[in-house]
Amino acid sequence: MRFSIQREVLLKPLQQVVGVVERRQTLPVLANLLVNVSADRVSFTGTDLEVEMVASTEAQDLESGEITIPARKLFDICRALPDGCKVDIKQSGDRVTVSAGRSKFTLATLPASEFPVIENIELVERVTLPEATLKELMDRTSFAMAQQDVRYYLNGLLLDLRDKVLRCVATDGHRLALAETTLDESVTTRRQIIIPRKGVLELQGLFETGDGTVELEFGRNHLRVHRGGVTFTSKLIDGRFPDYEAVIPIGADKEVRVGREELRSALQRAAILSNEKYRGVKLEVNPNRLRIVAHNPEQEEAVEDLEARTGVSDLSVGFNVNYLQDALSALRGDEVLICLRDGNSSCLMRATDSDQSRHVVMPLRL
């Protein structure tokens, strides 16, 4: 196995793949990348048995073959080489030599036969959509995923596919984020899959805000995403996601319209004097006014008065200020709509001109 390639051309696929490789792993071969040379291309595969990333690129002076090379070392060597240099990678026995100019590195290898590869996934549905759209959906919702929750099905992102709509939903039990888009083609059957947290983060790192399209392949136990020369495959979380539609408040008819940036800035200031542990702020609604009040154990107080378009009077409800700020950051538009029911119910937040992105925040007793 051998090939020659420009440093910059080699660096891009290595960057895309190396993030999947765990620094601490159970099998020695999982610290390596599978390097496969065939025809006029070289492909690099990294996996942690849950997520797999394959990136390929063109190269010269090829000699077919495959071997596994230490991922982090190969990436660090390539990154440290001077710009514009030509890199030659050649296998001799159980060693691989990386040469560039006057630099030469000899790395240990492991046989390709030991490398675990996800072969075929049992395909049940295929969807194509713009890359920027999928990135936007994930960016607007992924922050609400749980971290290391015992309810393991919350430690991921739900993709809900039905008719001509694709929804991304995430919740940690305290707040919920939902974003949806319309597809060009209708799907045959409704499908719900949960992508694990690591898979979501790797996918977000892979996407660029380009004009390209991505192809999603839904399998029984896997999701596969094709984008340019990169193929991403993730195992799915085997669990049942909560009935998130039941969480979206019904009958929250007390509406407050307020400038998104004004509200975000006011919350940021009020948060300074909120309780460091519970991060609670109180929203007090009266006609054409929204007041934000924060207290802490030192008896300090922050009060922010905002103009708001509302006819509601004498309604007071507490929330975690971080959850409100996260929701506002994920929304777009100049104005947000806050829908409330009473002082003990969750609130629904969305842009005034669109309900494609919705956020639910549970109340906090203050």
108 and 155 in one domain?
no
HSE of 11, CA atoms in CB hemisphere, 13 A: 14
pLDDT confidence of residue 209: 67
Last residue of a domain, one of 114, 138, 160: 114
256 and 285 in one domain?
yes
Structural domain total, the chain: 3
Helices vs strands, H then E, count in the chain: 6, 25
Rounded to an integer, what distance in angstroms lies between the CA atom of residue 280 and that of residue 366?
7
The rounded mean pLDDT for the chain is: 95
280 and 231 in one domain?
no
Last residue of a domain, one of 197, 213, 245: 245
- Answer yes or no: is 33 within a domain: yes
Give 118's pLDDT tier (boundaries 50, 70, 90).
confident
pTM for the structure as a whole = 0.91
pLDDT confidence of residue 365: 86
CA 354 to chain centre: 22
pLDDT in tens, 151-203: 999 999 999 999 999 999 999 999 999 999 999 999 888 999 999 999 999 99
Question: What is the DSSP track for 83-146?
Answer: TT-EEEEEEETTEEEEEETTEEEEEE-B-GGGS-------EEEEEEEEHHHHHHHHHHHGGG--
pLDDT in tens, 231-267: 999 999 999 999 999 999 888 899 999 999 999 999 9
157 and 131 in one domain?
yes
- Answer yes or no: is 134 within a domain: yes
166 and 275 in one domain?
no
Place of tokens 């997520």: 51
pLDDT confidence of residue 119: 76
Among residues of the chain, what percentage have pLDDT more than 70?
Answer: 99
- Answer yes or no: is 239 within a domain: yes
Rounded to an integer, what distance in angstroms lies between the CA atom of residue 229 and that of residue 150?
36
Q: What is the per-residue burial (b if ≥16 Cβ within 10 Å, else e) of 68-83?
A: bbbbeebbebbeebee
- Answer yes or no: is 284 within a domain: yes
127 and 241 in one domain?
yes
Last residue of a domain, one of 225, 245, 265: 245
pLDDT confidence of residue 332: 92
163 and 50 in one domain?
no
Structural domain harbouring 318: 249-361
3-state DSSP assignment of residue 158: strand
45 and 96 in one domain?
yes
Rounded to an integer, what distance in angstroms lies between the CA atom of residue 205 and that of residue 273?
35
Domain containing 103 — which CATH number? 3.10.150.10
pLDDT confidence of residue 25: 79
- Answer yes or no: is 159 within a domain: yes
241 and 299 in one domain?
no
283 and 233 in one domain?
no
355 and 270 in one domain?
yes
Give 74's pLDDT tier (boundaries 50, 70, 90).
very high
HEC secondary structure over 166-218: EEEEEECCCEEEEEEEECCCCCCCCEEEEEEHHHHHHHHHHCCCCCCEEEEEE
Mean pLDDT of 126-154: 95
135 and 197 in one domain?
yes
Answer for the pair 178, 124: CB distance below 8 angstroms, yes or no: no
Q: Which helix (H) or strand (E) holds 34?
A: strand 32-38
pLDDT in tens, 300-342: 999 999 999 999 999 999 999 999 999 999 999 999 999 999 9
- Answer yes or no: is 366 within a domain: no
The token pair at 335 is: 């104005």
